[in-house]
Amino acid sequence: MKLADLPTPCLVLDRAILARNIDRMARAVGRLGVALRPHLKTAKSIDVARMVLASPHAPISGITVSTLAEAEYFAAHGITNILYAVGITPQKLDQVAKLNAAGAQVSIVTDDVEVAHAIAAHPGQMRAFIEIDCGEQRGGMPPDAPELEAVATALGRRLAGIMTHAGHSYSGRSIPEMADIAEAERNAALTAVRRLAAAGLPCPIVSVGSSPTALHARALGGVTETRPGVYMFGDLFQAQIATNDADSIAVTVLASVIGRRPSEHRIVLDAGGMALSKDRATESAPHDYKFGLVLDTLGRRSYGHSLVVRANQEHGVVALDPEVPQDFRIGDRVRVAPNHTCMTSAAHDRYFVVDGGDEVVAVWPRINGW
Amino acid sequence: MKLADLPTPCLVLDRAILARNIDRMARAVGRLGVALRPHLKTAKSIDVARMVLASPHAPISGITVSTLAEAEYFAAHGITNILYAVGITPQKLDQVAKLNAAGAQVSIVTDDVEVAHAIAAHPGQMRAFIEIDCGEQRGGMPPDAPELEAVATALGRRLAGIMTHAGHSYSGRSIPEMADIAEAERNAALTAVRRLAAAGLPCPIVSVGSSPTALHARALGGVTETRPGVYMFGDLFQAQIATNDADSIAVTVLASVIGRRPSEHRIVLDAGGMALSKDRATESAPHDYKFGLVLDTLGRRSYGHSLVVRANQEHGVVALDPEVPQDFRIGDRVRVAPNHTCMTSAAHDRYFVVDGGDEVVAVWPRINGW
C-alpha cells in the first residue's frame, strides 16, 4: 500500500524520523544520568511506546500518561509502571485501584490535603506523587507552600515522590533559556525534597520534565527521572523552541486537493479543523504557521511558504506561496505539518506508518478519549 | 444514572434544549416555503437526526453530511437521501458509487470541469451539485464564473442542481445583517440557475443555507432547500450572531475540578484542549469566552463570568469570577459551554443525554473520523 492509496484526510507517521527523535532524547537523558519516563500523551500508541522503551541509551523508570484510558490501554499491553500525571479526584481512585488489582502499578498525582487523605484511606493499592508547581501555574503547589508536609503526612507510606512539570518552558525560545528553565524546574523539585527530608518524610522518586527541559538541561543532580513526550513527533511549534528541527517532524496529515483557484494562489484541502485541530500554538511563536505548513507527499518543503490559513470543519484553505508552481489538480495530495502534534494526532484514530518513503509499512492504532 | 456518576470529562446533550432549537429552525424554514436538508456535521448522531427529521414544521428533502463516514453511517441507519457537501475528488467516487449501489442516494459536489467529466464517466450511480461561491471564498465558483456551463454540460444528466453556503454569514452580527447575507446567498444561487436555464440545462434543486441565514432569511423564492446544522446545538459563538440565545446551548462538557487556588481565583478542570477543542471562535466575536464559559452541573450560569482561560492537553485553567463563591473542592463538577460546538462535540465519541435535569436518560453514539 502506498500513500496514494490511502483515504484522505489521514495521519502519516514517519518511523525513520520518529526513531531519530527517540534516539536523540534517550542520549540526552542518558548523559544526564537520570531515568526516562516517557510521556505517551502525544503518541498514545503501544507501537511507539515499544520503540521508546527499546532504546539502549537511557534507563526507563516507567511511562507517563495523561488519561486513565491510556493507563488501561498500556497496562493491557503489558506496560505496568505508569504515572497518571494529571491531578486525581477521589472519584477516580476506584478505577486506579482496579487497574492495580489487575497487576498494574499506576501511580497518581495530587497537591491537595483532602485528596491525600482520600488516597490514604482507599482500600485499593496505589502510590501518589505530590505535584509541585515550578512556575507553570497550572497544577501543583509552589515548592514553598505551607501545606507540603501535611499532604505528605496524609499520604503516609503511599507517598511515591514529588513531580513537577516546566510547561512554561514553552515560552522559552533558545537552548540557553531552556537550560535555565530546566535548572529552575530542578530547583523547585529539590526544594520540596529537602523540606520533606527535613520532616523525616521519604521521597524516593523525583520526577521532572518537559521535552525542551529534558533535552537541554545542563545537569539533573538530585532528580531521578524525566518525562518528555512531544519530542517523539515534534511539530512546527517545537521546531521553534529548540526541541526538534524543522525536518524532524514525524507526524503529518495527508490531504487531498478539493478546490483550486490558481489566479488567487489558493487551493482547498480536505483537511480542515477536524483533521488538523484548531490549535494555533505557533501564533505566539516567532513564526506563525497559521493551521499548518503544506509539504509534498514525501514530506519535503516543495511548496515554499504555503500555509493552511483557514480551517473550517472539513475544509483547509491554503494560501499558496506565489513562488511555487500553482498547477494543482483536484485529487492531488499534499502533507500538512502540524502546529501542535498532540492535538493533531488526537484528531485521528490510527497512524499510517512510512519509513521515509511513500510505502505504508504499518498501521498503528491510537487510544483517544477518556 | 446521574451526571454525578459519569466519568469526566464527557459530553452532555440536553435534549430539551435540542428539541427547542430543532423546533425553532423547522418553523423558520417552514415559513419560508423551502425544504430542510439538515446538516448533520455537528450532531453526527442518528438519534439527533431522527428528532430533526420528525419535526412536522418543515418538509425534509434529505440530509447533509461533511464526511463519507457520516454518509455510510446514516445510510446504514436507513437515511438514504444524502448530500455530501464537501468538494469531491475523483478518487472518492468509487466509495460514493458503492454506497449508492447498496441503496443510498448520495449526491456530491464539484466546481471543476475535470472532476465533472470524471463524475459523468464513472460507471456507478451518482448525481452532483455544482458548488457556487456566494462570498465565503472557500469552495465553489463565483456565480459569474465562465466555466459554469462547461461543468454543467460535463455532468450532463448527472446534474442534480446547484448549492451554495454563506459561511461568511458568521461575520454578521445582527438579524438584519443575516437577512442581507441570506439575500446575497439566494441571489448568487439564482444567478447560476438563470445562466443554466438560459443554456437549456435543467437545475431541479437549488440548495442554500447556513444556520444564521436559514433562520433569518426574509424570503427564499427560487430556492428549494436549506442546509443549516449548528443551530441544533448552538454555542457561545452562535449565541453572538443571532442563531441561538445564550440559554439555548444544548451541548456542554462535564468536567471535574482537579486543582484549586482560591487566593488566585483559579480552579483547574480535567477538561482541556482535548475535551473542549482548541477552537477560539469567540476570539473574533464581540465577547471573547476564551476556551469556554463555566456553568454549574445543571447548566446554569451560577459562576458569573468564570472562563476557561487556558487549555492544555488535559488541563483547563479557569479564571473564576471573583464575585462568586470560590469554595470548590477537588472532585466538584461543572459544565463548560463551548465556543464552537462542532469542534467540541467531535472530541467525544458519545453524548450523555439529559432532559433539563441531572438524570442521564440516554447515551447516544457519534460518528467521528473519515
| Reduced 3-state DSSP string for chain A | CEHHHCCCCEEEEEHHHHHHHHHHHHHHHHHHCCEECCECCCCCCHHHHHHHHCCCCCCECCEEECCHHHHHHHHHCCCCEEEECCCCCHHHHHHHHHHHHCCCEEEEEECCHHHHHHHHHCCCCCEEEEEECCCCCCCCECCCCCCHHHHHHHHHHHEEEEEECCHHHHHCCCHHHHHHHHHHHHHHHHHHHHHHHHCCCCCCEEEECCHHHHHHCCCCCCCCEECCCHHHCCCCCHHHCCCCCCCCCCEEEEEEEEEEEHHHCEEEECCCHHHHCCCCHHHHCCCCCCCCEEECCCCCCCCCCCEEEEECCCCEEEECCCCCCCCCCCCCEEEEECCCHHHHHCCCCEEEEECCCCEEEEEEECCCCC
Nine-digit cell at A111? 497537591
Residues of chain A with Cβ-Cβ distance to B273 below 8 Å are 279, 343
**Is the Cβ pair A256, B89 closer than 8 Å?**
yes
pLDDT at res. B19: 98
Distance, CA of A204 to CA of A161 (rounded, Å): 5
pLDDT at res. A169: 83
Q: Would you say residue A171 has pLDDT above 90? A: no
Distance, CA of A367 to CA of A148 (rounded, Å): 34
Segment B128-155, tens digit of pLDDT: 999 999 999 999 999 999 999 999 999 9
Beta bridge partners of A36: A60, A226
**Is the Cβ pair B90, A137 closer than 8 Å?**
no
> Quick one: what percent of chain A has pLDDT higher than 70?
100
Amino acid at site A187: N
Segment B154-172, tens digit of pLDDT: 999 999 999 999 988 888 8
Residues of chain A with Cβ-Cβ distance to B317 below 8 Å are 137-138
Residues in chain B, overall count: 370
Q: Which residues of B217-251 are buried (b: 16+ CB within 10 A; e: fewer)?
A: beebeebbbbbbbbbbbbbbbbbbbbbbeeebbbb
> In this complex, is the C-beta atom of B284 within 8 Å of any C-beta atom belonging to chain A?
no
pLDDT at res. B167: 87
Distance, CA of A368 to CA of B369 (rounded, Å): 12
Distance, CA of B89 to CA of B198 (rounded, Å): 28
Low-confidence ranges of chain B (pLDDT < 70): none
Q: Which of residues 224-263 of A touch B (CB under 8 A)?
A: 256-260
pLDDT at res. A240: 93
Distance, CA of B323 to CA of A342 (rounded, Å): 36
Shortest Cα distance, chain B CAs vs residue A138, angstroms: 7
Q: Tell me if residue B117 falls in helix, strand or coil.
A: helix
Q: Would you say residue A55 has pLDDT above 90? A: yes
Q: Which of residues 337-366 of B touch A (CB under 8 A)?
A: 340, 342-343, 346-349
Nearest residue of B to residue A88 by CA position? B258
**Residue A144 neighbours by CB distance under 10 Å:** 11
Nine-digit cell at A32? 544526564
Question: Sheet of B127-132: strands edge to edge?
Answer: B35-36, B225-226, B205-208, B159-164, B127-132, B105-110, B81-84, B63-65
pLDDT at res. A23: 97
DSSP code at position B80:
-
Cβ pair B209, B163 in contact under 8 A: no
Q: Would you say residue A16 has pLDDT above 90? A: yes
> In this complex, is the C-beta atom of B138 within 8 Å of any C-beta atom belonging to chain A?
yes
Q: Would you say residue A199 has pLDDT above 90? A: yes
Mean confidence (pLDDT) of chain A: 97
pLDDT at res. B359: 98
| Complex-level ipTM beyond the 0.95 threshold | yes
Q: Would you say residue A168 has pLDDT above 90? A: no
Mean confidence (pLDDT) of chain B: 97
Query: Helices B148-155 and B113-121, interaxial angle, to 10°?
Result: 10
Q: Tell me if residue B56 falls in helix, strand or coil.
A: coil
Q: Which of residues 305-344 of A touch B (CB under 8 A)?
A: 310, 312-315, 317, 329-331, 340, 342-343
- Whole-model pTM: value is 0.98
Beta bridge partners of A205: A161
Shortest Cα distance, chain A CAs vs residue B82, angstroms: 17
